[in-house]
Chains A and B, each alone.
Chain A
Amino acid sequence: MSVKSLYNFAFFDEGSKREVRRAILKAVAIPGYQVPFASREMPIARGWGTGGLQLTLSLVGRDDVLKVIDQGADESVNAVSIKRLVTGTTGIRATDDAREATIIQSRHRIPELPLARGQILVLQVPMPEPLRFVEPSEYATKRLHAEKEYSGAYLALFEEIMKYGRVATGADHPVAVNDRYVMAPSPIPRFDNPKMDRSRALILLGAGREKKIYAVPPFTKVASLDFEDHPFEVESVEGRKCRKCGAEGAFMDEIVDDASGAAEYQCNDTSFCSARAGARAGAVDAARAP
C-alpha cells in the first residue's frame, strides 16, 4: 500500500491545514508579527523543520512543485526526508531548480537565484523571538513588540561591537519589517538578509517548537538593524571563487584541505552550483543578473 492512500492529502486533516492557513493570512496582514498557532505533532521531531513543514503542507496543492533546501543543499538527509514526506502524501513533483519550484522550503539559506512573483519561500525557524537574548519572558517581549520598544535588539548588537569591534552576528541578524516589527529572519547568513527586502516572492517563516508563524509579503521593506557609524554589512565573499563552477560573488562554503591546509571555496547553494557547472551555466548567470 502506498503512503498516499494511508493519509489525507498533504498528511494533515483539512481542519489542521485550515488553522495553519488562517495563521498565515494573519501573518501576511501584519508583516513581521509573530502569529501564534497550534503547532501539530509531526512525524519528525520538533527542531527539525516542523514549522516550515506545517506551512508547506497547509499550502501545497496538486499543481505545486516543491524544492527543499537544507543549508544550501538539496540532497542532505533532512531535505530529502521532508521532500519525501510531502511528495509521498501529495503525489506532487519535487525539483532542485529554484526557478521551477512554486514552494521552496529552506533551512538557513535563501537561494542564490532571485525568486519570482508567485513563488513562496518557506523558512524554518528555531528561535522566532529576536528579543529573547535580552528578555527571557514571553509576556515581556510581547509587550515590547506592542510598544515598538526594540532597544534590546540594538543593545545586543552594541554589545557585539564592544566585544569584537564589529557586529558579529553569524546568522539571524535581526531585521525591521515595514518599519514596524523587528523580526528574526531565521538563521540565514547576513549575506541573505538583503534578499528579503522587497522580495518578489512571499516569504513565510514557521517555528514549530515555538509555535509561531510570521511573514514578509512581497515587495515589503525589510531593513537589517544597524548603527549610524556601523552600517549593516554582509559577509564578504570577495576573492572567493567556486572550485566547481567558478562562480564569484555567491555565498561560499570553505573547504580546508587536510593535507595542505589550503582553503578552497565552493558554492553553498548546490543546485545553483551544479546548474552552472553543467551546460546551462550561461542561462543560470543570465537569470541571476538583476
Chain B
Amino acid sequence: MTADFDAKALSLVGLTKWFGSRCPSCSSGGDGVLEKNYCPECGTVYALRDLSLTLYEGEVLGVVGESGSGKSTILNCLYYDMEPSSGAAYLSSFEGGAVDIFSVSAQARRAIRNSLLGKVYQNPLQGLKMRFSSISNVAEKLIAAGQRNVGAMEARAVGLLGHVNIPSVRMREAPEFFSGGMQQRVQIAKALSNNPPILLLDEVTTGLDLSVQAKVLDLVKRIQRELGISMLLVSHDLGVVRMLADRTVVMLNGEVVEEGLTDQILEDPQEPYTQELVHSML
C-alpha cells in the first residue's frame, strides 16, 4: 500500500478540555494565570489547551510528555470516550474531512468509532469484554458495524487473532484468562477488525515485561508496514516512540511544546522541557 504522505488523515483544531467551573481569570485562555494546567482561583484543570495536531496518511505520530500532560485526553476525546470542551477534529475518511466529528449525531459517532477508528487502551479492562471469548471481542466491532454473518465474522476474528499470535486453541477463551501481553494483543486484533484507517494507541506497552513489550512493538510495526494504517501513538516511554514514531510531538500542561521528526526531537531537543525529558532517559 502506497501512502500519500502529504494527505492529512486526521486534523485536530483548537482542541480544549477542562474539568471544573472556570472563572473569568482563566477562561480567556489562562496564559499567565494557570499554575501548570491548574487555575489557582477556581480550581479548574485544563487537560488540553487549544491543541492542534495533524496526522498524515500512513505515518506514526508519537505523543510524549509527562503524566497529566493531556496525552490520553486527546485519544479519549477522539474515540468519544470523553466530550471535548471545545475544538474540532476532521477525519479524511469521514465526509472527505469536511465535517467536524464532534458536531455529528450519536449514530454517526458510533459509525466513526466502529468503522473509522480503532483504539488500544492502556488497560485491557477498558477495551475488552473480559468474560466474552476473544473471538467475540474481535467480532464485537464487526457486529456493531452491521455485520450479521457468523461464519464471516468468525473467520475474520480467527485470522486477526492468528495475526497477533494468539494460539488457535485459546481463541475461544475469554481474555480474563490471558496474560497481560495476550490481552493487549487481543485488543490490537479487535482494534484492527474493521480495517480502520486510523489506530489510536494509548501506552500499549506500559506494564508489560520487556520481552512481551518487544513482541507487541514488533506487531504494531508489522501492522503499520503491511496495512499502512496511520497511528497516533501516546507513550511516556521514549524508547517506544523512538522505535515506532516517524514524527513526535512533545506535550506539557495540555499544550504542544515541540514538534518534529522523532530523531530530531530525541537527538537535538530545542525546548528546555524536551531537553529535560530526553536527558531523563536511562
Residue positions of A touching B, CB distance < 8 A? 134, 143, 147-149, 151, 154-155, 158-159, 161-163, 227-230
Chain A residue with the shortest CB-CB distance to B149: A228
B112 to chain A, nearest CB (A): 14
Smallest CB separation, A228 vs chain B (Å): 5
- Once bound together, how far apart are the Cα atoms of A155 and B151, in whole Å? 14
Contact with A along B94-121 (1 / 0, CB 8 A): 0000000000001100100000000000
| Any A CB within 8 A of the CB of B154 | yes
Indicate if the CB atoms of A147 and B110 lie closer than 8 Å: yes
Which label, helix, strand, loop or mixed, suits the secondary structure of the B interface?
helix
- Contact check, A154 vs B149: say whether CB atoms are below 8 A apart: no
A162 adjacent to B148 (CB under 8 Å)? no
Which residues of the other chain, B, contact A134 by a CB distance below 8 angstroms? Answer: 129
Residues of B within 8 A of A151 (CB): 140, 143-144
A190 vs B172: C-alpha distance when bound (angstroms) = 26
Report the contact-size class of chain B (Cβ under 8 Å from the partner). 10 to 19
Contacts of A155 in B (CB 8 A): 129, 132, 136, 139-140, 143
Check if A159 sits within 8 Å of B150, measured CB to CB. Answer: no
A163 to B133, CA, bound (A): 8
Cβ–Cβ contact A159 & B133, under 8 A:
yes
Given contacts A149-B110, A163-B172, contact A154 B133 (CB under 8 A): no
* Residue of A148, A154, A230 with most partner-chain B CB within 10 A: A154
Closest A residue, CB atoms, query B132: A159
Known: A151-B140, A155-B136. A162 touches B149 (CB 8 A): no
Q: Which of B145-160 contact A (CB under 8 A)?
A: 148-151, 153-154
Q: By the criterion CB–CB under 8 Å, are A147 and B132 in contact?
A: no
13 A-B pairs with CB atoms under 8 Å apart are A134-B129, A154-B143, A155-B136, A155-B139, A155-B140, A159-B132, A159-B133, A162-B135, A163-B133, A227-B148, A227-B149, A227-B150, A229-B149
List residues 140-189 of chain B with CB under 8 A from any CB of chain A: 140, 143-144, 148-151, 153-154, 172
CB distance from A174 to the nearest CB of B (A): 14
Q: B148, A228: Cβ atoms under 8 Å? A: yes
Complex CA–CA separation, A154 to B129 (angstroms): 14
Say how far A32's CB is from chain B's closest CB, in angstroms.
Answer: 19
Name the CB-closest residue of A to B153: A158
A134 to B139, CA, bound (A): 14
Interfacial chain B residues near A227, Cβ < 8 Å:
148-150
Decide if B143 touches A158 in the complex (CB within 8 Å).
Answer: yes
CB–CB A154/B148 < 8 A: yes
Shortest C-beta distance, B118 to chain A (Å), equals: 16
Give the distance in Å from the alpha carbon of A163 to the alpha carbon of B144 in the complex: 20
Query: From residue A135, how far is it (CB to closest CB) to chain B in Å?
Result: 10
Contacts of A228 in B (CB 8 A): 148-150
CA distance A228 to B146 in the complex (A): 12
Q: Say whether A158 contacts B136, CB under 8 Å.
A: yes
Closest 6 interchain pairs by CB?
Answer: A151-B144, A159-B136, A151-B143, A228-B149, A227-B150, A154-B143
- Alpha-carbon gap, A134 to B153, bound state (A): 19
Q: Which residues of the other chain, B, contact A148 by a CB distance below 8 angstroms?
A: 107
Query: Shortest distance in angstroms between B142's beta carbon and chain A's nearest beta carbon?
Result: 9
- Known pairs A147-B110, A159-B133 / 9 extra A-B pairs, C-beta < 8 Å: A148-B107, A154-B143, A155-B129, A155-B132, A155-B136, A155-B140, A158-B136, A227-B149, A229-B150
Residues of the A chain whose Cβ atoms lie less than 8 Å from the Cβ of B144: 149, 151
Cα–Cα distance between A224 and B110 once the two chains are bound (Å): 24
